[in-house]
Structure 1
Amino acid sequence: MKTAMRNKEKDKLSVIRLVKSSLQNEQIKLGRELTEDESITVLNREVKQRKESLHEFKQANREDLASKQESDLSVLEGYMPQQLTEEEVEAIVKETITETSASSKADMGKVMSAIMPKVKGKADGGLVNQLVMKHLSN
């Protein structure tokens, strides 16, 4: 935050302040210090909100607001853990399906509940869901 202030990066500073506020609100809500996983969850929530807003602004042809959301997203993604590639996620999906002995789409919930803690903050839930669906339908 101090670096953004020194460099007079107003957009970056405002995003950092919003995230810091969200983290503090979550800390107050829980009544204790946040763990690293909880902090990542808050960051994921912020990223997801920006992506949803971006989608809505693009549908409404509001390029001015969409570009603001894109710049906010790029700042937020700099603080997120390194994302897994699709191949890495697919390997985790295959491994988890084998571990849980899942064989049909009826086992989707069991597989998803086993996978999500492994990829929390490192992969998009939609991608994970799509890959699980693909492998369980084969």
Structure 2
Amino acid sequence: MSLKDQINDDMKAAMRARETERLGTIRLLLAAIKQREVDERITLDDAAITTVIDKMIKQRKDSISQFETAGRTDLVDKERAELTILAAYMPAQMSEDEIAAEVQAAVAQSGAAGPQDMGKVMGILKPKLAGRADMTAVSGLVKAALAK
């Protein structure tokens, strides 16, 4: 079953169970997927859908930090609930050790010699780790590895 089919099935289950918050979040996700499909005139595969979900998760995290600064706990709770629902559709996250091993392998594979080669290393890592690791953290690990 594709990820899109799973999301559609979850939407139907949320309708039947009358879970309004979950249903609303799933509908937002499906709307984002449909928007990208219409804009680019393609049918998204699981990897592209994961990218859409990752973008939505980043938006929620940013909103949470802004709402916490403003003292809006009601909106923070709503965003956290949406974040939890969206995170359920992401692949299992990699551990720090697994990410570090991938970074070392990519540095060795690319023959990177210093910070100027960061683009080469990230180019190797991005397809492998997309959706399975926070790319900001990966970037920090690559910088540290190349600074040695």
TM-score range, shorter chain: over 0.9
CA distance in structure 1 between the partners assigned to 2:42 and 2:110 by the alignment: 35
1:129 alignment counterpart: 139
1:102 alignment counterpart: 112
CA distance in structure 1 between the partners assigned to 2:143 and 2:69 by the alignment: 28
Cα deviation for residue 32 of structure 1 reads: 2.1
1:73 alignment counterpart: 83
CA distance in structure 2 between the partners assigned to 1:135 and 1:32 by the alignment: 38
| Percent of aligned pairs with the same amino acid | 36
Unaligned residue ranges in structure 2 (runs of 5+): 1-10
Unaligned residue ranges in structure 1 (runs of 5+): none
2:124 alignment counterpart: 114
In the superposition, the TM-score normalised over structure 1's length comes to 0.96
Equivalences for 1:15-54 in 2 at 5 Å? 15-54=25-64
In the superposition, the TM-score normalised over structure 2's length comes to 0.89
CA distance in structure 1 between the partners assigned to 2:31 and 2:40 by the alignment: 14
Following TM superposition, where does structure 1 have runs of at least 4 consecutive aligned residues deviating by more than 4 angstroms?
none
Cα deviation for residue 77 of structure 1 reads: 0.4
CA distance in structure 2 between the partners assigned to 1:120 and 1:76 by the alignment: 16
1:10 alignment counterpart: 20
Residues 38-57 of structure 1: CA distance to partner in whole angstroms, max 9, x if unpaired?
11111111111111111111
Aligned residues: 138
Residues 99-122 of structure 1: CA distance to partner in whole angstroms, max 9, x if unpaired?
011121111111111111110111
TM-align CA RMSD: 0.9
